[in-house]
């Protein structure tokens, strides 16, 4: 376990929560694009559908990785490194 101050823990927790929100937002937008482009016709709609589907997969993998048990510890390490380098 890493020994850090409470403020470092709070910063790491906030950073992790912000990343989780970004991943959820990305998943929502890419899912909406995939659904809408699925009902459209034409070559552009097909291209948008494929790319938004790939984006949905990417955001889903990122979202899954952000909820791993060791992710908060990794964020704590990143915050600690950043604080040491700025000092």
pLDDT tens per residue, range 7-43: 878 888 888 899 999 999 999 999 999 999 999 999 9
* Whole-number percent of the chain with pLDDT over 90: 56
Taking all residues of the chain, what is their mean pLDDT, rounded to a whole number? 87
Residue 6 pLDDT: 65
What average pLDDT score do residues 41-52 get?
96
In a domain, 7, yes or no: no
In a domain, 16, yes or no: no
Structural domain for 28, as ranges: 22-77
In a domain, 15, yes or no: no
> What is the Cα–Cα distance from 69 to 24, expressed in whole angstroms?
18
In a domain, 39, yes or no: yes
Residue 72 pLDDT: 79
How many domains is the chain built from? 1
Model-level pTM greater than 0.85?
no
Using CA of residue 41, residue 46, residue 47, residue 52, what is the dihedral sign?
Answer: positive
Which two tokens mark 84? 């040491």
């Amino acid at each position: 376990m890493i020994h850090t101050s409470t403020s470092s823990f709070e910063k790491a927790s906030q950073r992790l929560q912000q990343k989780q929100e970004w991943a959820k937002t990305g998943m929502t937008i890419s899912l909406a694009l995939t659904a809408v482009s699925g009902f459209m016709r034409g070559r552009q709609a097909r291209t948008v559908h494929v790319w938004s589907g790939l984006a949905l997969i990417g955001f889903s993998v990122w979202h899954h990785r952000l909820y791993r048990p060791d992710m908060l510890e990794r964020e704590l390490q990143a915050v600690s490194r950043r604080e040491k380098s700025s000092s």
